[in-house]
Amino acid sequence: MKRLRRFLVTSKSDIIYAKIEISHYFSDSHERELYIFAAMELGSNILKHSQSTGELWLLEKGGFLALAACDRGKGIGNTELALQKGYSTFEESSLGIGLSSLNSIDGYCLEIVSTEKNPFRGTVVFFGKITQYEQIDWLSIPFDDNYNGDFALQKGRLFAFGDASGHGMKAAAAANLISDYFKRHCHSILTIDDFYKSLHRYLLEQNARSCDLVVGALETSELILAGVGNLTIWEPCDEHFHPHSLRSGSLGAHYGKTTHTRFQLSSPIPLVITSDGVLKGCFENVSATIFESQTNAAMCAALYFCGSLSDDASIIYIKNKEMA
């Protein structure tokens, strides 16, 4: 999942601008009108319920477009009730048909993550096409809209999740360099230490930005990980996530040893890995249960509420394939 555009919503004119810009991404007239309606409804809810401060995100997921509405308003106490036609918590007159209408469209899903309690008081709503189940997915919010130093890619049963140091053009160039090297030279988790050593030398030779990187071998219910740097693995434990940190150091800078670990994907709640652009102190307070059934909205909420304002922020999740 990739964020294509971000629209701040502080007034009705912001919603109109977002609606016009979003419409340019659709060639099918029916789909265009649907997403214009969704943008208007979700944007209007931001104005109504969050003191006119929030954001609309245009996302790409599985070859289709989606929308996310994020705000730091008072939250929704009962999300199931909020989806019922005619229900509204708005103090002034409101028909209360926006969310219920979006939730009843065939072939589309509406997910809501909301809380009335600090530190994450607010709401994130995700609207998009129902797509094929994915065992692994990621979302990245770049600090610079034109360049992103964070990356994720998959090669058979192997996947890589990395963060090139800094942000901007040089970080994006390093991310592309590492991605290409991974595709050409990483063949097995059994030889990952040799791969990391060769990648470390390659980055030094190319005078490229250093990188924090984790490579995983994905089975049906087991995940083998090997990584180095300032990335955090979050294992579901009760209602929250338990953090596992990788060894310090960075490929292309001060690389020493690699952290090797195994995880059983026995829970319907996915395992999560975050880049250093996701603030650990904030993410520790995230409820793990929101990832069980509201995964798309949960990923958006994690980055909206926990993402740093000074760096690229990314999150990747890995689910048990049998629990699709």
Cβ-based neighbours of 274, under 8 Å, separated by 6 or more: 231, 232, 234, 280, 283, 302, 313, 314, 315, 316
Q: What is the pLDDT of residue 134?
A: 84
Element holding 105 (H helix, E strand): none
pLDDT one digit per residue (tens) for the chain, 324 residues: 999 999 999 999 999 999 999 999 999 999 999 999 999 999 998 998 877 689 999 999 989 999 999 999 988 876 666 666 655 554 444 434 568 889 889 999 999 999 888 888 999 999 999 988 788 999 999 999 899 999 999 999 999 999 999 999 999 999 999 999 999 999 999 999 999 999 999 999 999 999 999 999 998 789 999 999 999 999 999 889 999 999 989 999 999 999 999 999 988 899 999 999 999 999 999 999 999 889 999 999 999 999 998 999 999 999 987 765
The pTM (predicted TM-score) of the whole model is 0.92
Question: Yes or no: is domain 136-323 CATH 3.30.10.20?
Answer: no
- Cβ–Cβ < 8 Å for 42, 67: yes
Q: What is residue 175's DSSP assignment?
A: H
Tokens (6 digits) for 251: 């490929």
- Cβ–Cβ < 8 Å for 58, 112: no
CATH 3.60.40.10 domain range(s) in the chain = 136-323
CA 302, CA 298: separation in Å to the nearest integer? 6
Fold (topology level) of 2-129: Heat Shock Protein 90 (3.30.565)
Tokens (6 digits) for 262: 């195994």
- Cβ–Cβ < 8 Å for 216, 225: yes
Q: What is the pLDDT of residue 119?
A: 82
C-alpha to C-alpha distances, 275 to 43, 47, 138, 231, nearest whole angstrom: 29, 31, 11, 5
CATH 3.30.565.10 domain range(s) in the chain = 2-129
pLDDT per position as a tens digit, 146-205: 999 999 999 999 999 999 999 999 999 999 999 999 999 999 999 999 999 999 999 999
pLDDT per position as a tens digit, 81-99: 666 665 555 444 443 456 8
Q: Which runs of consecutive H residues, i.e. helices, occur in 186-224?
A: 192-205
Residue 277, amino acid:
G
- Cβ–Cβ < 8 Å for 124, 300: yes
CA 310, CA 217: separation in Å to the nearest integer? 31
Among 263, 201, 272, 195, smallest CA distance to 231 is for: 272
Side-chain half-sphere exposure of 278, counting CA atoms within 13 A: 29
- Cβ–Cβ < 8 Å for 67, 35: yes
Q: What is residue 84's DSSP assignment?
A: S
